Chains A and B, each alone.
Chain A
Amino acid sequence: MSGRVGLALLKAEIGKVWARPILEITVALMAVMATFLVQPITKIVSHSNFSVLIQSIMAENVSSVVSSLMLPLVVMCAVLMSLSFAKDYESGLMQSILSAPVSRKMLFTVKFFAVVLPLALLTWIFTTFFVGLTFYSSPWLVLQLSLFALPVAFLFLMFCGSIGALVALVVKRTIPAVLTAFLVNFALWFPTTIITEVAFKEGAFYANYLCLTPYNGALVFLDKSLGIVPKISSEFADALEISLSAVDFGALLIVYVSILMVPLFVYFWRRFEICE
């Protein structure tokens, strides 16, 4: 019964969140970003004698596409999640839904999945499509490698979404919540643009910790899962990015998500008051 109710609610939420033109904007944004990462065919030809190298280039391509999609994902996730919570609170829809026999736990979960699931799926589809554009002759391998993007995207979208939801539940006003969630996520995403190798070379004190930021950590987790060797020279062999394993980075991401999600979930379930 509750599963059926949850699915019906999820369908309605997805329809609301992804109503025109949100889906179109997201797809366009992701397409623009991913297009830049299509590998030039000459690069493939030059290595075509080595199937192992092809696989590693393909893995790097998967990593590059996911990395290029990060900005649109961060922006859309923060905006849509805060919009979903704050707008529903402000418009009275949350009040209306919670006046029916719907549990708060279910509404919270549905709202999260309505934003995170389509974005994670879009990430996987885009990765498959854009890596497949170059490596169309090995569709199964493309599919296999691009699948790694799914859990990584899911985890870091949960993190971005948690920030969006947290801001929305505190601010409770649509426009300020959307702007704040966007700015906070953007500020947290920004360190991913710093190249670790350069930071090390310049002796920056934070260089060793860049890989521990939620967004960089997600990319390192993906790279390590795909077997990509970190782009840090051997002189920094004890750097965390090299010494920690894929499992460590996966666990770190789960910890980041849990730190935000669990208290937020409990707060919404037990204490949040709807008094708009």
Chain B
Amino acid sequence: MSVPGGNGTTPDGALLTVTDLEKHFPIRKGLLVERTVDHVKAVDGVSFSIPEGKTLGLVGESGSGKSTTGYCILQLIRPTAGSVRFQGRELTELKGEDLRKIRQDMQIVFQDPYSSLDPRMTVGNIVAEPLQVHGMGTRRGRRETVRRLLEVVGFNPNYTNRYPHEFSGGQRQRIGVARALALNPKLIVCDEPVSALDVSIQAQILNLLKDLQRDFGLTYLFISHDLAVVRTMADEIAVMNKGKLVEVGPAEQVYLNPKDEYTKALFTAVPVPDPERQRERKAERARLRLDRIAGI
């Protein structure tokens, strides 16, 4: 298959293009003979694309389907329908070795740095694991790579023989980022990467992600419920509600002038750290009748 643009982007510069993505989970009933009575439409016709080196912020409240969308893109969950084109290849059709190979180029950073790192593995082995799985380098070479990766993410490389529980949430998230970087990926899906962290630590991790993007030309799908966090990270923003995208566009435009009613409600619901401004926003919020839009 031809790869336009040489580095796998389509002619319009998109590294990833998602079209009409759907994930419907069946609801089954019956004890012995199960039958499908209905479907939960977790992702229901989602389309967007991310240009290489840019960040798309996917925002929404819990249960909106944003994480499921992320998993469907990586084929960690197989979508029910729709297309995911990455570097010019259709991921939904890939299986086995082909899928494993292309996964080198797309990685994920999870929300909870406490449960996403194996407590029985040393920091060094956690970061080296992707290299090992993909058969890259010699043992000594991998050790060197791991040290370099840890340095890049601001983690003391002398601690490779320690275990995750010895480190704070922020340090663990750095380990998670180092692991995601190990295979030199093009796309990283960041699934609520700072939601479990305190503000001061969150800022460190967000800055790190920004620096890595600049230095390595990474493309991010940045999934978060936190609109302020997404604002600092995203070039484009997609707002999700009940499995559907309600608004997609350049971040600045959507933030300054949201069109969709749900987007507006979501934005005015966020309290800002300024009592006077917050009084105005509260009045706006009352006008929008949040309860109508978001349910009581």
Task: Answer whether A and B are interacting partners.
Answer: no
Q: Which residues of A contact B (CB under 8 A)?
A: none
Q: Which residues of B contact A (CB under 8 A)?
A: none
